[in-house]
Amino acid sequence: MSLQGDLEAEVARVWWGQTDGAHDIWHLRRVWANCQRIAEGLDKSVDRDVLLIGSYLHDIVNVPKDDPRRVRAAEMSADHAVAWMAARGLPGQEAVAHAIRAHSYSAGHPCETLEAQVLQDADRLEALGAIGIARCFNVAGQMGAGLVHGGDPLAEGRTLDDRAYALDHFEVKLFGIAETMNTPPARQMAEERVAFMRVFQETLAREARV
């Protein structure tokens, strides 16, 4: 079996029975695809195996966003990745662990390698664009939030509250993610995705206002 096949088998084993549409095998495959696209746009070479393993195992310990352990999820995923790699005698364990730790938005670890920068960008692109919108509303539903404040959709006269309304999360966090991209290819992709989100935001606000 290929390395990618082994990784998918490990994800299937650990995530068996899990139902989280925002963190499923397709999310991991898209992160890997994003990594490859970003890497192709760079003028420096990157370790593709580090990116492949990091893409598939960065969320292997999937802690709900409202769980107090959430801030440690990346650390736990990094530990899992190192153990998985060590059992197979695979090199690059520290590089993978660092990339996984650094990808986390909440943990706030700085990216010290190009691979960490690429993985972080690839994962954060998943929070933007049409897929970012879909994942945002999926997670909001899991946490019991509403879609949008019908009286003031864009929070022009109230305080933003993304625990109550999914659309508020755009301004609270998602638009800001685009400003954190490390690499030029990811920045361009982020700009395109944010432009779509702003059109969606205005359209939803117009349709939802009562």
**pLDDT bracket for residue 64 (50, 70, 90):** confident
Of 5-9, 99-103, 104-108, 181-185, give the lowest mean pLDDT range. Answer: 104-108
Q: Which of 119, 153, 176 is the last residue of a domain?
A: 119
The answer on 208 and 156 residing in a single domain is: yes
Q: Say if residue 68's pLDDT is above 90.
A: no
Residue 62: predicted pLDDT: 87
Q: Model's pTM, two decimal places?
A: 0.94
**pLDDT bracket for residue 7 (50, 70, 90):** very high
The answer on 134 and 104 residing in a single domain is: no
- C-alpha of 107 from chain center: 13
**CA 135, 193, 35, 33 torsion: positive or negative?**
positive
Q: Say if residue 150's pLDDT is above 90.
A: yes
**% of the chain exceeding 90 in pLDDT:** 88
The answer on 79 and 42 residing in a single domain is: yes
Tell me the C-alpha distance between 110 and 104, whole Å. Answer: 10
